[in-house]
Structure 1
């Protein structure tokens, strides 16, 4: 008797494939970034040691990245609005990341903070099409400095790696991205008539200004702009498959 063909196996979800690919790319970026930071730190320490001694240098560098100086630079209250471009999109990484981070009210660090280390995920949809959240938001590669709120790749994973325990908001991130956001617009896409803008957290719509959304560990945030017909093509995600270790 001839064998029956095997049933077609369901395809791996797009989100899972994207998460795995992004995780691999992210690992590569983090290894390379840490290597460059170590080289830069070693060169700086050697030069300063000649002038003032290795012990004093080590203490100064530690204070600059995780001590009271950095803590003082963190805002007591995160911004709950988002300033930036008012164009329709897509939106690339800002040319001057340091200025964008300053506009968000955040400091640039020598390396990622370790006191608070969590991740959230952002999806953006305009007119039924997903908009890429670019890599290197909040990272100044030329100066080798980094915001406590940043992206490493285009997966949409937002890294929160802070030297102090505090709240971070979507408004801070969107300001670092330099994309204006409020309850009635996303960039140059304005709600009104048959167009709506809805923010979701873990699959549930939230009211008010989405810039005020506080980022929590493993939150899945979605911004959806479009007509009813365009939005009907989408399935708003209720969660995100984070890579192991995130």
Structure 2
């Protein structure tokens, strides 16, 4: 190995002259985490937004332009070092290293109404197709049996439609605020309120119950899992019945 690097150093002076297999191992060393990591996404209005006139602020808010938004990312667990700046070296390094960085990351946004939309809007097409894991929070009012406006329902559908652009998704964690909100209402109610739109999102859906119900027993969680699967499969069964 030492002989190989001596010859390489004499002939080449840059990192990209290394064989791809070696570069990938270096990326893994610098970018892979020892355990799965959750990256929480949030946002705030940038200082530039507050320099706008009142009329311009209203126009930006109405059109949903995200150029006046600063994205905030936090990791759990906290890591002492991650060489994310490596992605800025050049386009080739970015294309080779990004899939390795994203492989063990679950992106999460408790404030998913807006932060996820801004996050997706900021992604390059290449990055958009490399996001593999995502955590979606089902909004509480969608689970309530109270009437909701068509506008609120449309916001959820738009969110799911935008998430569907992440074609590389293979795992989607669906978070419910509490077990009771999943238990109440009919399967059809849940399908119509949010699960039909959620079906647009690619990837395997995994059930997650919010922190308020972390003490659920295994048997109780199994019952919730069965109900969750029934909700996810409700629309598919109806389509099969219509076509048969």
Question: TM class, shorter-chain normalised?
Answer: under 0.3
More helix by share: 2
Q: Which protein has the larger Cα radius of gyration, Structure 1 or Structure 2?
A: 2
Q: TM-score, normalised by structure 2?
A: 0.27
Higher relative contact order (CA 8 A, sep 6+): 1
